Structure 1
Amino acid sequence: MATHDPELRRELDATLQTRRELGPDYEPELLDSFLEKVEENVDRRVRRHLAEQQVQVARGARPARPAGEAHAFWQRFGFAALSLVLAVPLTAIAVAQAGPVGLIVCWAGIVGVNAAHRAGARAPRPGTDRGAAD
C-alpha cells in the first residue's frame, strides 16, 4: 500500500503487526479501528481543503475547477456519439419489424436513454454544491 501520509502508514504497520501477534480472531476489531483512523484522516484533509477554499473565495479568487471536468465532457460526448452510431441499425430493425410505430418507439428509447444519462451527469454528487460554481 503506497501512502504519502507517514502517520497513516505507521497506523497500518501497527495494525498489521498486532494482527500477526493476536491472530485472525481479532481481525474485525483491528480493521474497524484502522478504518476509523482512515476516516479521521480523510475528514481532517477535507476540512483543511474546504478551509483553504474558503480563504481563496474570501480573497476573491475563484476555486480551481476539478480536473475531471474535461474528462466528463468527453465521456458525455462519447456516450452521445455511441448512441447515434447504434441508432442507425436499431432504427432499421425497428422500422423493418414494426413500421412507423417501431421508428417512434425506437427513437423515444434513444432520446430517453440520452436524457437519463444527461440527468445523471447533472445530478449533484453528495457533498458537492454544483450550483454555486455555475
Structure 2
Amino acid sequence: MDELKSELDATLQARRELGTEYEAALVDSFLGKVEQSLDTAIDRQVRRRLGEQQVASARGVRPRGPGAEGFGARFGFGIISLVLAVPLSAIAAAHAGLAGLVVAWLGIVGVNAVHAFRDRLPLSPRDEDRH
C-alpha cells in the first residue's frame, strides 16, 4: 500500500511538472500500477485459499469459516427461497389445495434445512475416493 501511495505522489508531482497535456497518460500509467498491485494481491489470496482447500480436502474435511461460505451467500439463499416460495405456494394451493401447500412448504423448509446444516454432514464415501 505504501508503494501505491508513493506512486500516486510521483504521478501527481509529474503532472505538476508536465502539465495537463500529459494527464491522461499519467493516469493510465498509475491505474496500470494499481491494477497490477490488485492482481498480485488477488493471486496471493486465491493461492492461499486453494492451499487451504487442498489441505482440508486431503484431511476429508469441508472448509469452514468465513472463507467457506459467508453470511451473504447464506442470506441470499434464504431470500431466494422465500421469493420462490410465493409462486410455489400459489401453484401448489391452486392445484392441490391445503395438502399441496403443506407439501410445498415442507419442501422449502427441507431445502433450507439441508443448506443450513450441510457443513455438519460428513463427506460421502464418493467424495473421499476422489481425493
| Aligned position for 1:73 | 77
> Identity over aligned residues, as a percent?
30
| Aligned position for 2:13 | 21
Number of aligned pairs? 80
Please tell me the root mean square deviation across aligned C-alpha atoms, in Å. Answer: 2.6
Q: TM-score, normalised by structure 1?
A: 0.49
RCO higher in structure (CA 8 A, sep ≥6): 2
Spell out structure 1 runs of 4+ moving beyond 3 A: 81-85
Take 1:81 and 1:56, find their aligned partners in 2: how far apart are those partners?
35
Residue 63 of structure 1 deviates from its aligned partner by 1.5
Q: What letter matches 2:14 in structure 1? A: L
Q: What letter matches 1:34 in structure 2? A: V
> Any stretches of 5+ residues in structure 2 without a counterpart?
16-22, 91-126
Contact 1:19/1:26, CA 8 A, preserved across alignment: yes
Q: What letter matches 1:72 in structure 2? A: G
| Aligned position for 1:57 | 57
Task: Give a deviation string over 1:2-31, Cα, whole Å, max 9, x none.
Answer: xxxxxxx11221221122111124110111
Q: TM-score, normalised by structure 2?
A: 0.50
Residue 83 of structure 1 deviates from its aligned partner by 5.3
Match of residue 2, structure 2, among 7, 10, 13:
10
> Any stretches of 5+ residues in structure 1 without a counterpart?
1-8, 88-131
SS at match of 2:75: helix
1:105-124 correspondence runs (5 A) = none
